[in-house]
Amino acid sequence: MKPQKSASKALKAPPNAGRRGSEKEPRGSLHRSVAQDIGARILNGEFAPGTLLPNEAEWCKSFGVSRTAVREAIKMLMGKGLIISRPRIGSRVLPRAEWNLLDRDVLGWYVAAAKQSHFLAHMQQVREILEPETAALAAANHTPEQLLAIEAAYEAMAAAKTLAAWNEADVKFHFAILQAAGNELLVPLGLVIESALGSMFTYTARQKGDVGRTLPGHQRILTAIRARRPNAARAAVRKLLGDTSRIVGEVMRAGRKSRSAGA
């Protein structure tokens, strides 16, 4: 009768194990850890769509936590469209079409689970669809303040000495364009893409030392937007993406040989 402090078979999440962001987010909460674990295992294929998950009692045992924590974790996963749970039945993994794949967490689990090359290709495809049009919209619709933000980000890129600084400025540059497009729906889309791409991106274009090489490409985009020339902006982004795409392809080919991917 002391399952309280007893064996936590899994869940070796120390009070604050996360290192993302500053340190504000309560990454140490139990229900979050549980949701994280279950969600990752679903995206991972361990629990395929249609599968009936273990019932709450079993989760309690395997995690060594109370039913409350398990239920709250399950509610989060329900909110992401991963599972549905009903009395007497249990929790069932929903078909993939129901998943909110564009949810930050879900996409994160997906990235972690999916074959990198496969995912990277699809992501790049989406970028090639969205970003040129985003830039074109920004060229057509930007306000003076928004243009200032884009210019500031560009200056920061040009002045960046370290890789980290350059990456930060680059993200700001894209985000500023996104906002200048003036479409509220594009913003979260772009955020998701950027965030999912983020870490992976660091290992492709950025590492190859061609940081400086893409600067002119960015400048062309800025110039086109400033001149309110949507077609030029679209073309400039396409060109820049073409470069990135080629580099990604090289990295993928290189990575396929030395398959020791990891941290």
Partner DNA sequence: CAATCATCGTTTGTATGATAAATGACGGCA
Partner DNA sequence: TGCCGTCATTTATCATACAAACGATGATTG
Q: Is 116 in the site for DNA (CB under 7 A)?
A: no
Q: Is 81 in the site for DNA (CB under 7 A)?
A: no
- Which of the choices its own copies, DNA, none does residue 11 contact, using the CB cut-off of 5 to 8 A by kind? none
Residue in 3, 18, 45, 79 binding its own copies, rule: CB under 8 A: 79
Between 201 and 214, CB nearer to its own copies? 201
Residue 236: closest CA among 225, 248, 249? 225
Torsion angle in degrees (nearest 10) through CA of 110, 176, 232, 244: -40
- Which of the choices its own copies, DNA, none does residue 183 contact, using the CB cut-off of 5 to 8 A by kind? its own copies
CA-to-CA dists, residue 43 to 37, 157, 174, 263, angstroms? 10, 36, 29, 19
Between 120 and 147, CB nearer to its own copies? 120
d(Cα 66, Cα 59) in Å, to the nearest integer?
9
Q: Tokens for 174?
A: 């894209």
Query: Min. distance of Cβ 7 from its own copies in angstroms?
Result: 25
Count the helix, strand and coil residues of the chain and give each as a percent rounded to the nearest 5.
65, 5, 30
Between 5 and 161, CB nearer to DNA? 5
Residue in 42, 56, 123, 221 binding DNA, rule: CB under 7 A: 56
Residue 201: closest CA among 187, 189, 216, 211? 211
d(Cα 130, Cα 40) in Å, to the nearest integer?
28
Element (H, E) at 225: helix 215-226
Question: Which residues would be at the binding site for DNA (CB under 7 A)?
Answer: 1-4, 15, 26, 28-31, 53, 55-57, 64-69, 71-72, 74, 85-91
Question: Which residues would be at the binding site for its own copies (CB under 8 A)?
Answer: 25-26, 31, 35, 68, 71-73, 75-81, 84, 86, 97, 99-105, 122-123, 125-126, 129-130, 133, 137, 183-189, 191-192
